[in-house]
């Protein structure tokens, strides 16, 4: 059975974005970018399907299709552009889904995910997409959480688990520190 892995960047005070959705705080972290890039490359190799909400989809599509992305991270850009992608949105129009290999799913989301989990393949990854992380987590659809804690305090923002009503139990699989700037990756398995 395929797994869904949610990969999320969070601040030390637990936010995945600033109050208006800004994510510039983790993009601009100084330090050993080569080590973080190597981690991203290794992670994307174990993935064959990306899952996005509308906002993250639009941000990712607007970056990874650019010449700048190809210059700065050629392997990741090629992989991001060629992987199959699903965007979950009730408001996005099909004619706005232009990023190659992307399919729009508007309805029967839980049923669609359960079918995809039973198909052969590698991991499915959620990158960002706070609204679908909360929605999927509430329904027990996420198998693993990879939380990258960034050494920054935002003082306010949006929690990745905003709206979760029931307690989620997780088991720590491993932890890894990236030096500098001191990011800590925490990998958890959902306990069902």
Question: Is the C-alpha dihedral spanning 25, 27, 28, 34 positive or negative?
Answer: positive
**Cβ-Cβ contacts under 8 Å for 25 (sequence gap 6 or more):** 11, 18, 150, 152, 154
- Tell me how far apart the terminal alpha carbons of the chain are, to the nearest angstrom: 15
**pLDDT (mean) for 14-21:** 88
What pLDDT does residue 30 have? 63
Set out the domains of the chain in order of their start, with CATH numbers.
4-190 (3.40.430.10)
Asked whether residue 27 carries a pLDDT value surpassing 70, the answer given is: no
pLDDT, tens digit (0-9, with 9 covering 90-100), for 51-95: 999 989 998 999 999 999 999 889 889 999 999 999 999 888 877
**Residue in 63, 99, 100, 103 with CA at minimum distance from that of residue 87:** 103
Give pTM, 2 decimals.
0.91
**pLDDT (mean) for 17-35:** 75
Q: Which ranges in the chain belong to alpha helices (H)?
A: 24-27, 33-45, 54-64, 67-72, 74-82, 109-117, 130-138
């Amino acid at each position: 059975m395929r797994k869904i892995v949610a990969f999320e960047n969070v601040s030390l005070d637990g936010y995945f974005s600033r109050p208006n959705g800004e994510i510039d705080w983790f993009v601009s972290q100084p330090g050993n970018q080569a080590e973080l890039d190597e981690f991203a490359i290794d992670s994307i190799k174990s993935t064959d399907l990306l899952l996005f909400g509308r906002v993250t989809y639009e941000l990712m599509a607007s970056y990874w299709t650019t010449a700048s992305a190809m210059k700065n991270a050629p392997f990741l850009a090629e992989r991001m552009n060629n992987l199959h992608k699903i965007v979950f949105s009730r408001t996005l129009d099909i004619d706005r889904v232009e990023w190659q290999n992307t399919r729009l799913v508007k309805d029967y989301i839980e049923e669609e995910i359960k079918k995809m989990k039973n198909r052969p393949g590698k991991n499915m990854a959620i990158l960002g997409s706070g609204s679908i992380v909360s929605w999927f987590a509430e329904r027990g659809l996420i198998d693993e959480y990879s939380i990258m804690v960034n050494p920054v305090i935002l003082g306010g923002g949006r929690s990745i688990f905003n709206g979760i009503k029931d307690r989620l139990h997780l088991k720590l699989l491993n932890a890894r520190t990236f030096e500098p700037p001191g990011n800590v990756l925490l990998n958890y398995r959902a306990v069902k």
